[in-house]
Amino acid sequence: MPKWFWVVLAIIISSGIYFSIRFGLRPKPIPLMKPNTFSSLEEMGVVSFRRLFQPIRSEKILVLGHDPEKPQTLEIWQGLLKGAVQSNVKIQKMYHYTSGQETLPEYFAQFNPIPLDLDQLQSVRDELVKSRKRHGLTIFIVPTELATHLREDSLTKKMEVLPLGPVLSFSQIRLVLDPEELDRISSSCTELDPSDLKSRLECIEFRYTKSQWRKKLDPEKILGAIERYGLKEYLLFVHQP
């Protein structure tokens, strides 16, 4: 075939990838870990790190999202960090965003977490750029709504307009096993408002839980599952009795 054909084809493919990343056109979610039972939230975090070892190891920035209304789920990220340290992944720096009285577990103190104000994000720009040139991770611990790529004003999106490229995020959302709650959030899919982050996340919760419904998951167990969304987004579905 003529050379111009391959040039045009390359342009079409690269443009498709760019617009998929830039405007959120996402491929089908990729399951990475089916629902598993865990003895503790920390164990879930350790296992999650093992499942994401390769992508995490190759990154310089990692945004971890959690549910501020369930501060105990920070133990999941405690387990993930323990897994990282045990695998000789260096933690360069840690930032923590909170809008209330939420505190990190004592284990995090060794990383000297820095309080993060989103208005100060520009002021850490140079440090983030430098972190690309050094070995190790800069970690941001924030609510899921600020970690997910689904929200245009999230921390990940704001960092991506800096010269940092796509940012890896790993966020916790619910694995909903209460039939009444599942019925309530079902409308999030049938009446989906693309601008409403809550309805979009609830729709993902509903879709995933329904896909697992035949497995009769035990609501009395701690459960966790992982899916990959798009290029740099991973979701951890969490059920805690």
pLDDT tens, residue by residue, 55-78: 898 888 899 999 988 989 999 999
Total structural domains within the chain: 1
Distance between start and end Cα atoms, the chain: 60
- Residue 32 is assigned to a structural domain of this protein: yes
- Residue 190 is assigned to a structural domain of this protein: no
User: Could you report the per-residue pLDDT of 152-170, keeping only the tens digit for each?
Assistant: 778 888 887 766 678 899 9
**What is the spatial distance between Cα 97 and Cα 52, in angstroms, rounded to a whole number?**
23
Q: How many CB atoms lie within 10 A of CB 24?
A: 16
- Residue 186 is assigned to a structural domain of this protein: no
Question: Is residue 89 within 8 Å of residue 137, measured between CB atoms?
Answer: yes
**What is the spatial distance between Cα 141 and Cα 169, in angstroms, rounded to a whole number?**
10
Selection from 103, 120, 100, 109 nearest residue 81 by Cα: 109
- Residue 75 is assigned to a structural domain of this protein: yes
Question: Is residue 136 within 8 Å of residue 59, measured between CB atoms?
Answer: no
- Residue-level pLDDT at 15: 40
- Residue 191 is assigned to a structural domain of this protein: no
- Residue 46 is assigned to a structural domain of this protein: yes
Average pLDDT over residues 189-198: 70
73, two tokens: 């789920």
Q: Read off the CATH number of the domain in which 163 is found.
A: 3.40.50
127, two tokens: 């440090």
Residue 5 has pLDDT above 60, yes or no: no
Work out the angle at residue 193's Cα, subtended by the Cα atoms of residues 24 and 74, and round it to the nearest 5 degrees: 70
Selection from 193, 184, 226, 233 nearest residue 208 by Cα: 226
Where in the sequence is the domain holding 129, given as residue range(s)?
A: 3-175+217-239
**What is the spatial distance between Cα 88 and Cα 110, in angstroms, rounded to a whole number?**
15
- Residue 169 is assigned to a structural domain of this protein: yes
DSSP type of residue 221: S
- Residue 20 is assigned to a structural domain of this protein: yes
> Which pLDDT band, with edges at 50, 70 and 90, does 201 fall under?
confident
- Burial class for 143, CB neighbours closer than 10 Å (0-12, 13-18, 19+): buried
Question: Is residue 28 within 8 Å of residue 106, measured between CB atoms?
Answer: no
